[in-house]
Chain A
């Protein structure tokens, strides 16, 4: 009865099982053996293991196991064997072998359990190849790159990374990031950020570290970190890329220095002009000073526009909405002050405008808005809207106020007419056309069509 049960169990075991007698002839095998090795009981039972299936089991490793190891050790587990079988191809097998000792027998048969691990081994080899491929791709990346374990120890480092820290791959692997170099990366802010990357899945986009690196000198690195998750794998790692921005940073600093220097000179020159006009005004009769004051205000506007232009620049162009908002803010501060009941609002699209036309455009807006502030609101309350929008091929500038409007007799007054002459001059300079608007007592609107205001298409905007 127990023999029957044992043989039933043997038939259901997924591993291939064979039993050999002491002469290494096969006395029995299970169904799994016949299936895996595509053979039959008739071909198998009674056959010597090494002669089975045209001697395809005459494998040197198996001979060693059966003829030398088992007689001495009685049992061997997980003996790995690779062989190319003519009918089933190359297989990797794990063999467990055990001597069957019956009471009173010194030398019994052998039971062999053979497990086919070819798929697992192939997957392992594929994964190693993938790892090597990844490593070789990583090594070609110029920016130093490192993969960290969840505890910030190094799993993989690119060649550029190893060069920077002057360490070997073996020395880097398993080391904590903060132990590297002269402990430059042992920065509380960085540690805090990194501790956020894994649990909160928040990538670090750019974190600057400036320090002295032995053999490299002073360097500025921009750090990018993100979590790497593999599907089905709960182990989370982090990819950390070190972008060397030393040269870029230096160029930015040089450019800033130059901008400051030029701005200083320009403003000093404008200061001299404003000062000279002021002295001229002092020696002129009171009735003539208004023109000098208007001139000083226009020069101040040019100085402010210069600042706005250098701050609104992105790549080679200026963005209209940023520029107009700057003009509105500056005019509010210089002409109105914080107590004023007059507001200057902006309703502009982010159109890229030609930097060569930015100053006349700014002066045109300055002129129109100044006219509105001076004449539209005798009660000291109101709103001026500066608008710049694309309308088909044209760009339309509109300056609107909700003040008292223009009466016909006002248009004849000299200062206003002169103000409007400047509007005409700046509009002409921009190649624009003033579109007449109906006059009345419900505020004033000035509309100027500016077909040439957009930046030439040759200027490519770059993200600064």
Chain B
């Protein structure tokens, strides 16, 4: 069992992802934007993995910012990105090491595989 921080600006998708991940026995923390994510990352709460959308409200590459801040605050933290947009070279250059990307729309099986390989990395 692991603790996963889900950063997703769409409330519906955030809820769906939370239900899916909890179904496999993990715990979840939720954030809807960069600032909320940073509050949790700076707190002493245990986090095993970060699952973040890239496009967060007004921040086009907000998820990249969250991941970089997260790894700076918690070195070695595992990261899984998700996006409905095309993954550009510019985006890739902003990814932290050990990147995993899941394209939207993803099925439960696809999310489960991605979360498992993120935690196993």
Contacts and interface: CB of A to CB of B under 8 A. Distances in A.
A320 to B, nearest CB: 21
Most A-side CB within 10 Å, residue of B19, B20, B105: B105
Interface string A101-135: 00000000000000000000000000000000000
B13 A263 contact: no
Contacts of A273: 105
Contacts of A267: 83-85, 104-105
A282 to B, nearest CB: 8
B55 interface: yes
Contacts of B103: 303
A308 to B, nearest CB: 10
Contact of B60 (A260, A268, A275): A260
B86 A271 contact: no
Contacts of B105: 267, 270-271, 273-275, 299-300, 303
B55 A274 contact: no
Interface in A70-109: none
Given A260-B55, A275-B16, A268 B108 contact: no
Contact of B12 (A272, A293, A300, A311): A272
Nearest to A270: B105
A303 B84 CA distance: 8
A275 to B, nearest CB: 4
Nearest to A268: B10
Interface string A398-412: 000000000000000
Contact of B84 (A257, A266, A278, A279): A266
A303 B106 CA distance: 10
A237 B105 CA distance: 57
Given A267-B84, A303-B104, 11 more contacts: A260-B55, A260-B60, A263-B85, A270-B104, A271-B13, A272-B12, A274-B106, A275-B105, A278-B108, A303-B84, A303-B103
Interface of A: 257, 260, 263-264, 266-268, 270-276, 278-279, 293, 296, 299-300, 303, 307, 311
A248 to B, nearest CB: 20
Contacts of A303: 84, 103-105
A271 B55 contact: no
23 contacts: A260-B85, A263-B84, A263-B85, A263-B86, A264-B83, A264-B84, A266-B84, A267-B84, A267-B85, A268-B84, A268-B104, A271-B16, A271-B106, A272-B10, A273-B105, A275-B13, A275-B17, A275-B20, A275-B105, A275-B108, A278-B20, A279-B19, A293-B107
B13 to A, nearest CB: 5
Most A-side CB within 10 Å, residue of B83, B103, B107: B107
A462 B86 CA distance: 24
Interface string B86-106: 100000000000000001111
A296 B107 CA distance: 7
Nearest to A266: B84
B84 A274 contact: no
A228 to B, nearest CB: 37
Given A278-B107, A278-B108, A299-B105, A271 B84 contact: yes
Contacts of A299: 105
Enumerate the 9 nearest inter-chain pairs by beta-carbon distance, A residue then B residue, closest first. A267-B84, A275-B16, A274-B105, A271-B105, A270-B105, A267-B104, A278-B108, A264-B55, A271-B104
Nearest to A274: B105
A253 to B, nearest CB: 11
Interface string B7-27: 000101100110110000000
Contacts of A311: 86
A224 B36 CA distance: 48
Most B-side CB within 10 Å, residue of A260, A267, A279: A267
Nearest to B103: A303
A274 B85 contact: no
Contacts of A278: 20, 107-108
Nearest to A265: B84
Contacts of A268: 10, 13, 84, 104
